[in-house]
Chain A
Amino acid sequence: MEWETVIGLEIHAQLNTVSKIFSGAPTAYGAEPNRQACPVDLGMPGVLPVLNQGAVERAVMLGLAINAEITPRSVFARKNYFYPDLPKGYQISQFELPIVGLGHLDIELEDGTTKRIGVTRAHLEEDAGKSLHEGFEAMTGIDLNRAGTPLIEIVSEPELRSAKEAVAYMKKLHSLVRYLDICDGNMQEGSFRCDANVSIRPKGQTEFGTRAELKNLNSFRFVERAINFEVERQIDVIEGGGTVVQETRLYDPDRDETRSMRSKEEANDYRYFPDPDLLPLVVDSAFIETVREKLPELPDAKRARFVEQYGLSDYDAGVLTATREMGDFYEAVAAGCDAPKLAANWVMGEFSAALNRSEVELGEAPVNAEGLAGLLARIQDETISGKIAKEVFEAMWNGEGDADAVIEAKGLKQITDTGAIDAIIDEVMASNPKQLEQYRGGKDKLFGFFVGQVMKATQGKANPAQVNERLKAKLDG
Chain B
Amino acid sequence: MSVDTSEVRRIAHLSRLAMNDDQARDFAGGLSDIFAFVEQLDGAAIEGVEPMAHPLDAEQRLRPDAVTEPDRRDAYQAIAPAVEGGLYLVPRVIE
B11 to chain A, nearest CB (A): 10
B87 adjacent to A269 (CB under 8 Å): no
Q: How far is the CA of A40 from the CA of B72 in the complex (A)?
A: 12
> Bound complex: CA of A131 vs CA of B95, how far in Å?
10
CB within 8 Å: A-B pair count: 119
- Is there an interface contact between A24 and B92, defined as CB atoms closer than 8 Å? no
Given contacts A50-B63, A56-B62, are A276 and B90 in contact (CB under 8 A)? Answer: no
Do B65 and A17 touch (CB < 8 A)?
yes
Contact partners of B23 in chain A: CB under 8 A: none
Report the bound CA distance from A26 to B70 in whole Å.
9
Residues of chain A at interface, number, CB under 8 A: 54
**Complex: how many Å from CA A261 to CA B86?**
29
Give bound CA distance, A51 to B59, whole Å: 11
Q: Which residues of chain B are near A75, meaning CB under 8 Å?
A: 53
C-alpha spacing A168/B73, complex, angstroms: 42
A26 B67 Cβ-Cβ under 8 A: yes
Q: Tell whether, in the assembled complex, residue A140 and residue B86 are in contact, meaning their CB atoms are under 8 Å apart.
A: no
Q: B66 contacts the other chain (Cβ, under 8 Å)? A: yes
A141 close to B (CB within 8 Å) = yes
Chain A residues positioned under 8 Å from B37 (CB to CB): none
- Taking a contact as CB atoms closer than 8 A, the residue among A24, A36, A84 that contacts B63 in the complex is A24
| In contact, B77 and A142 (Cβ under 8 angstroms) | no
Interface size on B, residues (CB 8 A): 33
**What residues of B have a CB within 8 angstroms of the CB of A36 in the complex?**
71
Query: What chain B residues lie within 8 Å of A261 (beta carbons)?
Result: 95
Chain B residues 53-81 with CB under 8 Å of chain A are 53-54, 58-69, 71-73, 76-77
> In the complex the two chains form, what is the Cα distance from A144 to B73 in whole Å?
11
Give the shortest distance, in Å, between A57 (CB) and chain B (any CB): 8
CB distance from B53 to the nearest CB of A (A): 5
With a CB–CB cut-off of 8 A, which chain B residues contact A263?
93-95
Most buried by A among B63, B73, B91, B92: B63
Residues of B contacting A138 with CB < 8 Å?
91-92
A299 CB → nearest B CB, Å? 25
* Chain B residue at minimal CB-CB distance from A22: B63
Known: A24-B67, A261-B95. A282 touches B60 (CB 8 A): yes
CA of A143 to CA of B90 in the docked complex: distance in angstroms?
11
Contacts of A53 in B (CB 8 A): 62-65
- Cross-chain contact A33 with B85 (CB below 8 angstroms): yes
Cα distance A44–B78 when bound, in Å?
13
Nearest-neighbor residue (CB-CB) of B64 within chain A: A53
Smallest beta-carbon distance A146→chain B, Å = 13
A182 in the interface, Cβ–Cβ < 8 Å? no
- On chain A, the residues within 8 Å of B90 by CB distance are 84, 139-140, 142
B87 with A141: CB separation less than 8 A: yes
Q: Tell me, in angstroms, the Cα distance from A51 to B63 when the chains sit together.
A: 6
Question: Do residues B67 and A19 form an inter-chain contact, with CB atoms below 8 A?
Answer: yes
- A143: chain B residues at CB < 8 Å are 86-87
In the complex, whether A226 has a CB less than 8 A from a CB of chain B is no
State which of A17, A142, A262, A279 has its C-beta within 8 Å of the C-beta of B87.
A142
Check A24 against B86 for contact (C-beta < 8 Å). Answer: no
Known: A141-B84, A280-B60. A250 touches B95 (CB 8 A): yes
- CA separation between A25 and B73, bound complex, in Å? 12
CB of A32 within 8 A of chain B?
Answer: yes
Instruction: Find chain A residues with CB under 8 A from B58 CB.
Output: 279
Asked if A335 lies at the interface with its beta carbon under 8 angstroms from chain B, I say no
Contacts of B84 on A, CB cut-off 8 Å? 136, 139, 141
Contact indicator A140/B69 (Cβ below 8 Å): no
Decide: B85 and A133 in contact? CB cutoff 8 A: no
Are A32 and B60 in contact (CB-based, < 8 A)? no
Instruction: Compute how far the CA of A38 lies from the CA of B70 in the bound complex, rounded to whole angstroms.
Output: 8
A425 → B minimal CB distance (Å): 70
What 10 A-B pairs are tightest by C-beta distance, nearest first? A54-B65, A141-B87, A24-B68, A38-B69, A53-B62, A33-B86, A142-B88, A279-B60, A25-B69, A282-B59
Min CB distance, B66 to chain A, in Å?
6
Known: A133-B92, A139-B92. A37 touches B73 (CB 8 A): yes
Please name all residues of chain B whose beta carbon is closer than 8 Å to the beta carbon of A56 when the two chains form the complex. Answer: 62
Give residues of chain A (15-51) contacting chain B, Cβ–Cβ below 8 Å: 17-19, 23-26, 32-40, 42, 44, 50-51
Known: A82-B16, A263-B94. A52 touches B62 (CB 8 A): yes
In the complex, which residue of chain B has the Cβ closest to the Cβ of A131? B93
Query: CB-CB < 8 A to B88: which residues of A?
Result: 34, 84, 141-142, 144
